[in-house]
A and B are shown apart, each in its own frame.
Chain A
Amino acid sequence: MATVEYNRIGKSFGAVNIMRDVSFRIEEHQFVVLLGPSGCGKTTLLRMTAGLETVSEGDLMIGGKRVNDVHPRDRDIAMVFQNYALYPTMKVYDNIAFSLEVAKVQTDEIKRRVEAAAEVLNLTPYLQRYPKELSGGQRQRVAMGRAMVREPSVFLFDEPLSNLDAKLRAHMRTEIRQLHNRLKTTTIYVTHDQIEAMTMADKIVVMRAGKIEQIGSPDEVYDTPASKYVADFIGSAAINFMPGTVVTGEGQPAVDTPNGRIRVLPGAAVKPGQKVICGIRPTDAVVSDDGPIRTRALLVERMGHDVQLCTAAPAGQFLAIVDRSRPFAEGVEVRFDAAPEKVHVFDAETEMRL
């Protein structure tokens, strides 16, 4: 187990800079998820951590030691690649055993460890098969087994679930997290799927175009998104944005938007007249007969426990997830309100949280 620390890391491919000033720290035993859209530099950051890519700027520390120039095999890191990269000419057993063989571990010790890993990952019946004889999910587990047997001090996962079907993905999500709870190996997990990030992470690092947008626990990034970008990225149902201008009405700051006057927290660092963007999550919108947001229901989607209302508001489409106790019909007027502490306010210019 080790800590990993990124200290003002930058990366350029030739003259093209794709990452700059990335700094954060991963504590021992932590499960950190790097979250960001495709092309934002997640894989590159993982590859730099593993030593497969040079670090252009800054210091990379593993276990307190600077490892910028340490050879990949001396970093004690295991990585599960986005495409698994199993050894196709070796059986599952040999795939998993390879690192131990290379390290000249005793044969019976190798056998013990490979079988233990296979047991944990439910791979025991497949040890004598070739990778091409396995399903996608099984291959994914072989890739994990290969990383696990080495008992490395850091695990790196690069979008390991992105090619599995939805059900298997949900299953593997819990498996991986349970595995981590058992092994407690420091883990960096890369994904573009915010659900994976929210469900698995101790800490989420939200990335955008080679920079860090926000670092925090799943609750923190959900409850207090640092920017409009994070607010938009996190959350299953898309957050509703509306532009507006700050006014001070009745002693409490509020924002005048096309959707009406929306109250915000007195604590928010807003000045009267400032141009802002308000964000209200669909789950935070409450139906209220004298609420400021007047909408017309376009679509009523029953989701079992809740009802998702897709409505037309003056500022565009407005989405709300509400209790199903009230009957809704398409075409009727529905008015919404939101508690001031649930309204996220971002500067219209910088799109940063206020």
Chain B
Amino acid sequence: MSPLLEIRDLRIRFRVAGPIRARLKGIDDPFLDAVLGVSFALKPGSTFGLVGESGSGKSTLARAIVGLVPVHSGAILFEGEEAKGGDSDFATRRRHIAMMFQDPVGSLSPRLTVRALITEPFLIHGKDGRDLDAEARRLLDMVGLPANFAGRYPHELSGGQARRIGVARALALAPKLIIADEPTAGLDVSVQGEILNLLVRLQRELGLAYLIITHNLAVIRHVSDELAIMYMGRFVEQGATRDIFENPAHPYTHGLLAAQPLPDPDRRRANVELQGEVPSLARRPKGCEFHTRCPRAIARCRVEIPLPSRLDAGRLVRCHAPLVAPIASTD
């Protein structure tokens, strides 16, 4: 099956200092790379999980996919076509790709009713003579809320209801792909399950594809087909979710899994595997970016950036000393 979305060797840079300030302060590289060498493909109707700590580049990557952030190099193809940057290109892409933000209701106007919130995409992209009341009822029904919610205001919603409104809004233009940024962050476990079950049901019914961004490994294990682990803008490991969980190859993946607390007092962790925190993008370490925190780092890691090597079943890992033996190095 040809991919719905394909990302090829993507690089996204941000300017951190203007040209004059850079000269004055002696900054020789006034840019930082938020996304670096990222490639992946997303099949129609499937779920791709993107995991990483804050600042790893997950949200920047998502925003670039819908054209909210310019691409420095590489390509983003949707249904085989590359949006070259013309506004009309992005308009079509945005119609097929919906973004669901972390706090879908809090980020929107508190003075709008639920009806206005979920039908707003029609006002932006053209309503083609639609009856917005009927649309609001239809969308609320799809996310399992009664029609009378149309008249409510954001502050009258519970956390779970607010997320459902976010899903309804994302569904408005009948997208093929929904990008969900931390769809369950801050929710209680029982409500979290309800939202994820809703997403899974909609995927089955509508053939939707999802790109789910999260730092919650316990959740992504259950809901994604494929997974990428991101660190300082790079995919350090990517492949089938099941393979990665059963047998993490990158020491960072291993460390993330080990950092997840288990709800069992008999299995307390004796020590902490990953110390410290992610370095600033402005001070990107030489060689493998992870070597400053890596328990397996060898001399080579400090000087040479690892290329992706191929493991079984299409899995890729960027590591000089992976926990699973590679078959070959790509390119």
A and B: interacting chains? no
